[in-house]
Amino acid sequence: MGIDSGTATLFFSQVTVGLINGSFYALLSLGLAIIFGLLHVVNVAHGAQFMLGAYGAWALLTWFGLPYWVTLFLVPPIVGVFGVVIERVLLRHVYHIDQLYSFLLTFGLGIMVEALCRIKFGSAGLPYSNPIPGGFDLGFIFLPYYRVWVITAAVVICGSVWFAIERTNLGSYLRAAIQDAALVEAFGINVPRMVMLTYGFGVALAALAGVFAAPIFQMSPHMGSTFIVVVFAVVVVGGMGSLMGAVLAGLGLGVIEGITKAFYPEASSTAIFVVMALVLLWSPAGFLTTE
């Protein structure tokens, strides 16, 4: 029995939409996996930092007239510096105690950031104009140029970060510092500074995803909370601390979510969590764990 053209159109259009959402999942999950894998910190504030990236892009455009392409390079390091301050002032005090304390600390921090944004910007969504108008007419879907840019940029960035951490001396120093900080310091490497910059870099990745998201999703103080629940599921599926697992799980689960929306919309919001449950039953450490 053949597949009718309408079903095929629906299938491929939802796969495309899934790749777009999966790009955000992959980028956010990568930052979360870096922070957990290298620092063993459960950064629940990651969603709030993602939201700060989106609002930062909007603020620079609205208040200073800076275009999207400028905010793309300015916002991530600015929010990353905010992450560095958090690490120096708060997180460094909980590294050597139970991970529950870092969870509670970042959870409370995320709530505070959301509340401050709600007070400043209100709860209603704020629009951000599309920086790349137009798109490709693929027959089964009209694919905006901007979304193609997001998918491409996310894949390139995720691949580059994975290569830098897993295949370069810098990544080796980072992993060694977590295992034996005293030994690495004996070689003249400033481990506290390395840890600080690692957390700031993970936060900057979340902010970069927020800048990407600004023209696609209406910005609200709760947008990070919506994403972070799914992102934690993605990280669990990929393997806590596994960078490649986070990227592959993010893209794959985005596609699964999109296909589910096409054929069983009622289950689309739970499909990722069903996959997470199955993975935990089959391989509790994730399908591509670093253990």
Grouped pLDDT means (10 residues each) for the chain, 291 residues? 61 82 91 85 92 95 93 96 94 86 93 93 86 85 88 93 85 74 79 88 95 90 88 88 87 90 82 89 72 46
Strand-pairing partners, residue 219, are: 126
Q: What is the pLDDT of residue 110?
A: 94
C-alpha dist (Å) from residue 188 to 14, 88, 95, 162 = 52, 21, 22, 25
Structure tokens at 270: 């739970």
DSSP letter for 77, please. Answer: H
Cβ atoms 63, 195 nearer than 8 A: no
Q: What is the pLDDT of residue 56?
A: 95
Predicted TM-score (pTM) of this structure? 0.90
Calpha distance 216→68 (Å, rounded): 13
The residue behind tokens 């951490």 is 165
Q: Find the length of the chain.
A: 291
The residue behind tokens 């894949």 is 155
Cβ atoms 39, 201 nearer than 8 A: no
Cβ atoms 198, 178 nearer than 8 A: no
Q: What is the pLDDT of residue 208?
A: 96
Torsion sign over Cα 49, 50, 53, 56: negative
Q: What is the pLDDT of residue 158?
A: 93
